[in-house]
Structure 1
Amino acid sequence: MNPTRDEDALNWAGDDDPTLQNGSTDPARTEPSALPAGWTIPQGAAHPTAVPSTTDAASPEPDGADVTAQPDSAAASSAALVGMGILAGMYLLYTVGWFIGVARIEKPISDPVAEFMFSLGAWLAVAAPLAWFGATYWLTTGSPRARRAWLLIGVLVLAPLPFILGTGTLA
């Protein structure tokens, strides 16, 4: 950064807001509370960077995660996120498939109560994939393994058979 803020390439209004300052007038000094547990800044360094402390580099974080295991957990969380996106897309396609399958069904029912019950069941079938995904995601927040298992069970159970088989009649 330039010594004068007027020569900066990107100068935004409000850059001089005192609430945006970290409280230190020395730009080379970082707040200790901003560092992860077990990390220190070497004293007297020309360009201070946070490095793991040599005394407790292998000690676990307070939440139980090891500092050295972060790249593996990041890769695992990326794979889990991609998998969750694929499953969410499948459930969305199942909802569209159920909608198309229900729209194809011809209703030869003349009784008003039976016709209402049939329509209710058909629209509940359309909503079932979204309801399953939402309930599974909400009820299994503490257990990712159970979430994946229940979502995979839903993929098998909620397949839109009227759309897949191409049937359009009750008989």
Structure 2
Amino acid sequence: MTSSRDDDALGWAGDDDPTLVSGGAAAVERTPAPTADTTAVDAPADRDSATPDTATPDTATPDTDLPDGWAVTGSPGGYVDAPEEPATLSSPALIGLGILAGVYLLYTIGWFIGVGRLTSGLTDPLGQFMFSLGTWLAIAAPAVWFASSYWLTRGKPRLRWTWLILGAVLLAPLPFIAGTGGL
């Protein structure tokens, strides 16, 4: 015993609207851009061609108010191309990236704790300043390495993984691991 009320719970109002496109910007079909060779044949026959609100082929201009990333190509139809969508990460790649991000976060915490254990035997102000600057840069290094590796290697997954794994090896918090310092 099924009723239409049960089927109503599985859909939204307007699901059958033909103007809706599913799939985001990747599913948008190519549509012809306005061209200068449009003739008055396309206009309704009952309109007066002498009215000022209609454009003639000589005065028609292509649409220049396109969104950023959209361009009119030199293709024969004058089609408007949608902007390229960045490639999405697969589930294993996303999990691996999350694990590496966690490792870099732990490295930042490890550097913070490890550097906090170090003492400076320097007495001059310049030496103390340089030691303090070096410790703060060491703390920030894992986060900066992860962010710059991720941002600078867009579209190059092998290079991204290479740099992220190299950073995980090079940026290990040695003062924390070795236990150097006053505690």
TM-score interval, normalised by the smaller of the two chains:
0.5 to 0.7
Separation in 1 of the partners of 2:22 and 2:95?
30
Is 2:143 the partner of 1:130?
yes
Determine what percentage of the aligned residue pairs are the same residue: 53
SS at match of 1:155: helix
SS at match of 1:2: helix
Which of these two proteins has the greater Rg computed from alpha carbons? Answer: 2
Equivalent position of 1:2 in the other structure: 5
Equivalent position of 1:116 in the other structure: 129
Equivalent position of 1:12 in the other structure: none
Q: Where in structure 2 are there 5+ consecutive unaligned residues?
A: 29-86
TM-score (norm 2): 0.55
Q: Where in structure 1 are there 5+ consecutive unaligned residues?
A: 10-14, 38-72
Is 2:157 the partner of 1:144?
yes
More helix by share: 1
TM-score (norm 1): 0.59
Cα RMSD after superposing both structures: 3.1
SS at match of 1:110: coil
Separation in 1 of the partners of 2:176 and 2:135?
13
* Shift in Å, 1:34: 3.6
Higher relative contact order (CA 8 A, sep 6+): 2
| Count of residue pairs brought into register by the alignment | 116
Measured against aligned partners, the alpha-carbon deviations of 1:135-163 in whole angstroms (never above 9, x if no partner) come to 00110111111111100000010000000
Letter paired with 2:154: T
